[in-house]
Amino acid sequence: EDQVTQSPEALRLQEGESSSLNCSYTVSGLRGLFWYRQDPGKGPEFLFTLYSAGEEKEKERLKATLTKKESFLHITAPKPEDSATYLCAVQASNTGKLIFGQGTTLQVKP
């Protein structure tokens, strides 16, 4: 069964304290792995798509990496405005549908 698990569920950081969020997946053929940011009461905002193991993408303080079993979202020197829930999703080859993880809620304190 295709599955996505994100850890930790919640993460509290001090401003400037770098860390990583994990997304582990099992899927029968990966078409793509997606990262989204979601603010409370709003729709998910697209961040990155990763297509194959070894690929990396960066945007400001965020860097996403991909292996054959997991993806990491590295946050370097976070700021309070990075506080949000980060969602990971995979698109399976057999169905083409997106399967979402539960998300990691990040809080960055000044």
Q: Which is nearer to another protein, 96 or 110 (CB)?
A: 96
Q: Based on the number of CB atoms within 10 Å of its own CB, is 11 exposed (0-12), middle (13-18) or buried (19 or more)?
A: middle
Task: Provide, rounded to whole angstroms, the least separation between the CB of residue 97 and another protein.
Answer: 6
Strand partners, 4: 25
Q: Which is nearer to another protein, 78 or 103 (CB)?
A: 103
Q: Which is nearer to another protein, 31 or 63 (CB)?
A: 31
User: Do 73 and 35 form a contact (C-beta atoms < 8 A)?
Assistant: yes
- The CA angle 80-86-91, to the nearest 5 degrees, is 160
Q: Which residues bind another protein (CB under 8 A)?
A: 31-32, 34, 36, 41-46, 49, 51, 87, 89, 91, 93, 96-98, 100-103
Task: Provide, rounded to whole angstroms, the least separation between the CB of residue 21 and another protein.
Answer: 15
